[in-house]
């Protein structure tokens, strides 16, 4: 038996435009709280993306969906749940270490994916189509996105910097799990509720 959810997923919501700063921070807090429960049990979701974030009650509650490719971050169980060299997840939101097929995927991979979700929520940029999966992998591994505060001046610098750290190619530079992320979000304090004045061009 599963809960009957009424609303829309985040990918559908983003078709109508970007989120405000306040909406994005609230989304990060709610998804972070859900991930914290998983990370405390050593479970890594591995497929955080807009279509797996369901907005209920007019967006007031966010539900994290689809643990179908989750794994347990323990040495004794990694081999049974992940095939070495395989790529599991969605490339547009996948951490570089996950895209490389590394079997030692930590909670920091979920933080990376959530950072990419937040980036899209505020910048309203869709990923450029690529002709081959190798090009998509190269983008994940090597391309850097411009800071949010550079392309979206309405995004406060502290939030822009946190999202940039979440999206770091180096796992150790990110908040290491959702509990650490929630602490950093709380440390930001109140942020001005700003909305984009115009949608920026797609990259």
Q: Is-catalytic flag, 73? A: no
Among the listed residues 9, 47, 73, 110, the single catalytic one is 47
CB 109 within 8 A of CB 46: yes
Answer positive or negative: Cα dihedral of 37, 107, 164, 16.
negative
Neighbour count for residue 32 (Cβ, 10 Å): 24
DSSP state letters, the chain: --PPP-EEEHHHHHTT-PPPHHHHHHHHHHHHHHHHHHHHTTEE-----GGGEEEETTTTEEEE---TT-EE-SHHHHHHH--TT---S-GGG--HHHHTT-S---THHHHHHHHHHHHHHHH-PPPPP-SSHHHHHHHHHH--PPPHHHH-TTS-HHHHHHHHHHT-SSGGGS-SSHHHHHHHHHHH--------SSPPPP-
Q: Which residues are catalytic?
A: 47
């Amino acid at each position: 038996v599963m809960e009957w959810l009424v609303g829309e997923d985040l990918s559908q919501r983003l078709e109508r435009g970007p989120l405000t700063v306040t909406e994005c921070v609230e989304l990060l807090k709610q998804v972070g709280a859900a991930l914290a429960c998983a990370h405390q049990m050593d479970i890594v979701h591995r497929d955080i993306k807009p279509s797996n974030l369901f907005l209920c009650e007019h967006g007031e509650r966010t539900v994290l969906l689809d643990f179908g490719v989750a794994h347990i971050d323990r040495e004794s169980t990694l081999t049974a749940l992940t095939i070495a060299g395989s790529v599991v997840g969605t490339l547009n939101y996948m951490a570089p270490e996950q895209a490389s097929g590394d079997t030692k995927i930590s909670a920091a991979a979920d933080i990376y994916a959530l950072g990419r979700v937040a980036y899209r929520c505020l910048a309203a940029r869709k990923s450029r189509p690529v002709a081959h999966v190798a090009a998509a992998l190269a983008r994940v591994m090597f391309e850097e996105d411009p800071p949010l505060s550079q392309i979206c001046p309405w995004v406060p610098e502290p939030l822009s910097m946190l999202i940039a750290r979440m999206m770091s190619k180096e796992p150790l530079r990110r908040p290491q799990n959702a509990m650490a992320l929630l602490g950093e979000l709380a440390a930001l304090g109140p942020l001005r509720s700003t909305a984009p004045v115009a949608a920026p061009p797609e990259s």
